């Protein structure tokens, strides 16, 4: 998802009886649905896993601005431009809420930036695909934000207080993101055949990467079982992917589009769609840094940070000077 | 140069005259920028009519480990709640 394949360090989940008193008390609070807050005792693995998961999620929000930012200056109308700008600004805010949540676990903002810029930290695979036409912007809102919502809604009930609260704020805003995307596509499919073809082309390119956002099947993964025991993950990847497909296919039909999956078929018995397997080799390749836009995204992000240095330094100098003046005046 | 900016806690008073409420935190070089940034991040949809910012390092918090001794004294004082007292129906609303 926005945080894909987060490792938990453990090799197996321990039962309550095997735990030290501290850890046992912690686990019992989690089991009872209580929130864990920053200064409270928590297992080291819980802290580390959360730092990985939340910072990866934050990086995804920040890097996720880039594919869409590509179209701000080329939006078809002034209204669409204002809407897209507001959406991309929201994503900056999402990144910020999440960085703050991660900081409560003892990692600094600079450390997290360092990890992103050095390539040590990951962000979602989805943002390494190019945005070739205006229809891609609609498709991102509809599919990518749609998939993000699937994952983020249950995270509002996450056991770690600051993460859960950040998710509540984020989820309030995501619905605008998805709707503005779908709305842009609704307009385009009612246009001339070339516009409708553009939307179909966008769906063809974004469908599979969107399904990959949920990550490979993790039913057998010890990391996933541990994360579920800690309540920092509520559903398996396959479960969320199924929900996403079931929700999205009728929407594609409404737009008069064809989902690019020959194996897609309604399964009456399970009350959901059967669908094909994403190309996991492609997924692992993108994760490893070899997607179509990995280098471009990281360079753009680093350049934005470096180009802003003089301004940040100016603000810091001003703050120090004013502080010194007010001390002198006392 | 580029040293990390201090962390600020942000409090917003909503439209309806309620107390300022903690909404989150952000980094800023000084108080003025912290208010500006809080405006941009936390009041994008008319969430507030007033913003407070305070440096996180200036906040003193109770220790989570003392939760028991700190709050226990009020647990036994049920008579502090109006529902402790049974007022007969004949008396009417009180
Ligand atoms: Fe977001
Ligand atoms: Fe997003
Ligand atoms: Fe979004």
Q: pLDDT tens per residue, chain B (94 residues)?
A: 457 899 999 999 998 889 999 999 999 999 999 999 999 999 999 889 999 999 999 999 988 777 778 888 888 889 999 999 999 999 999 9
A110 touches chain B (CB under 8 A): yes
Contact: A316, B1; criterion CB under 8 Å? yes
Contact: B4, A322; criterion CB under 8 Å? no
Residue from B1, B33, B70 whose CB has the most chain A CBs within 10 Å, to mutate: B1
Domain B1-58 adopts which CATH fold? Ubiquitin-like (UB roll) (3.10.20)
A25 touches chain B (CB under 8 A): no
Within chain A, which residues score under 50 in pLDDT? none
Ligand nearest to the CA of A141: 3
Question: Residue A316: its chain B contacts at CB < 8 A?
Answer: 1-3, 5, 29
Say how far apart CA A261 and CA A258 lie, in whole Å: 8
For residue A68, what are its two tokens? 């869409």
Chain B nearest-CA residue for A161: B24
The predicted complex's ipTM stands at 0.86
Question: Residue B64: its chain A contacts at CB < 8 A?
Answer: 37, 39-41
A103 touches chain B (CB under 8 A): yes
Strands (E), chain B: 7-13, 21-27, 50-55
Distance A167 CA to ligand 1 centre (A): 10
Contact: A93, B44; criterion CB under 8 Å? yes
Contact: A313, B2; criterion CB under 8 Å? yes
**Per-residue pLDDT at B1:** 44
């Amino acid at each position: 998802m926005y945080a894909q394949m987060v490792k938990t360090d453990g090799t197996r989940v321990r039962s309550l009886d095997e735990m030290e008193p501290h850890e046992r008390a912690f686990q019992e609070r989690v089991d009872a649905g209580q929130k864990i807050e920053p200064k409270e005792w928590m297992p080291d693995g819980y802290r580390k896993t959360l730092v990985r998961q939340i910072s990866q999620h934050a990086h995804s929000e920040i890097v996720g601005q880039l594919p869409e930012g590509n179209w701000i200056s080329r939006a078809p109308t002034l209204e669409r431009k204002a809407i897209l700008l507001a959406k991309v600004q929201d994503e900056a805010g999402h990144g910020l809420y999440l960085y703050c949540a991660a900081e409560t676990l003892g990692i600094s903002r600079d450390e997290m930036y360092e990890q992103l810029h050095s390539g040590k930290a990951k962000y979602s695979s989805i943002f390494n695909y190019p945005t070739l036409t205006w229809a891609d912007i609609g498709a991102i809102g509809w599919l990518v934000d749609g998939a993000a919502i699937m994952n983020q809604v249950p995270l509002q009930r996450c056991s770690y207080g600051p993460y859960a609260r950040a998710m509540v704020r984020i989820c309030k805003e995501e619905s605008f993101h998805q709707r503005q995307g779908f709305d842009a596509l609704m307009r385009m499919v009612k246009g001339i055949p070339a516009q409708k073809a553009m939307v179909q082309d966008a769906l063809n390119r974004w469908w599979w990467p969107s399904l990959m956002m949920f990550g490979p099947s993790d039913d057998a993964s010890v990391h996933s079982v541990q994360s579920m025991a800690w309540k920092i993950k509520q559903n398996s990847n396959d479960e969320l992917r199924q929900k996403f497909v079931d929700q999205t296919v009728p929407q594609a039909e409404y737009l008069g589009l064809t989902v690019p999956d020959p194996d897609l078929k309604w399964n009456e018995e399970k009350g959901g769609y059967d669908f094909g397997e994403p190309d996991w080799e492609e997924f692992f390749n993108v994760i490893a840094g070899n997607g179509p836009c990995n280098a471009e995204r990281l360079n753009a992000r680093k350049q934005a940070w470096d180009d802003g240095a003089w301004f940040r330094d100016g603000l810091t100098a001003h703050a120090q000077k004013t502080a010194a003046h007010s001390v002198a005046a006392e | 140069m580029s040293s990390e900016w201090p962390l600020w806690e942000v409090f917003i008073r909503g439209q309806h005259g309620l107390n300022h409420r903690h909404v989150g935190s952000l980094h800023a070089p000084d108080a003025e920028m912290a208010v500006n940034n809080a405006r941009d991040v936390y009041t994008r949809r008319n969430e507030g009519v007033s913003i407070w910012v305070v440096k996180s390092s200036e906040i003193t918090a109770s220790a989570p480990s003392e939760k028991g001794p700190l709050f226990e004294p009020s647990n036994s004082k049920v008579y502090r709640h109006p529902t402790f007292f049974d007022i007969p129906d004949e008396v009417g609303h009180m």
